[in-house]
Amino acid sequence: MTKHLKNRHKIDPARSSVARKREVEGVDVLAALKRSSEVNIDIERRRRNELLAIGLDKSTLEYLFIRWITETNLPWNTVTHTPFRSFLEYVNPSANSLLPNSPNTFKAHAIRLFEEGKKRLHTCYPRVCSLRNSY
């Protein structure tokens, strides 16, 4: 019977059902251990970045970043330059992930910030703004 199972159906009754299941599913213990260590490294990296980000306020960081780019007349694609991103990564990896990473996103953030400032100005000085609009 054992010979029939081996030859005809490629079943080895001497091997355990767990070993057959691993072979069928392609589960390798070493590969599973490697994947779990990669996951642990990723979790540690995220935890470290979260700890570094505790002192960062995203809106303040974004405001200062947009102000720096606009006041120094740097091109908006500065956000994509590898040396700039490397500098941010070195100073604080969380800052690198909090700031926009494409010129279009930067532009949208800058316009939104401008519109918010314009609304605050109209709220604080409504009479001055209405006089300006009357010209």
What is the tally of structural domains in the chain? 2
Same domain, residue pair 5 and 64: no
3-state secondary structure 94-126: HHHHHCCCCHHHHHHHHHHHHHHHHHHHHHHCH
Same domain, residue pair 66 and 79: yes
Q: Look over the chain and give the mean of its residue pLDDT values, rounded to a whole number.
A: 76
Q: Identify the pLDDT of residue 84.
A: 87
Give the confidence band of 70 by pLDDT, cuts at 50, 70, 90. Answer: confident
Same domain, residue pair 30 and 68: no
Same domain, residue pair 105 and 40: no
Q: Identify the pLDDT of residue 53.
A: 58
Same domain, residue pair 47 and 67: no
Token pair for residue 119? 């609304």
Q: For 43-61, how does the pLDDT look when each residue is reduced to its tens digit (9 = 90+)?
A: 777 766 665 556 778 888 8
Q: What residue numbers bound the domain in which 125 lies?
A: 56-135
Direct distance between the N- and C-terminal alpha carbons of the chain, in angstroms, rounded to an integer: 102
Q: For 12-40, how does the pLDDT look when each residue is reduced to its tens digit (9 = 90+)?
A: 666 656 565 666 555 566 666 677 667 66
Q: What is the pTM of this model?
A: 0.49
Q: Is the dihedral of CA 67, 71, 74, 75 positive or negative?
A: positive
The DSSP code for 16 is: -
Same domain, residue pair 70 and 30: no
Same domain, residue pair 97 and 61: yes
- Give the pLDDT mean for 103-113: 88
Same domain, residue pair 68 and 85: yes
Same domain, residue pair 50 and 89: no
Q: Identify the pLDDT of residue 95.
A: 80
Same domain, residue pair 38 and 80: no
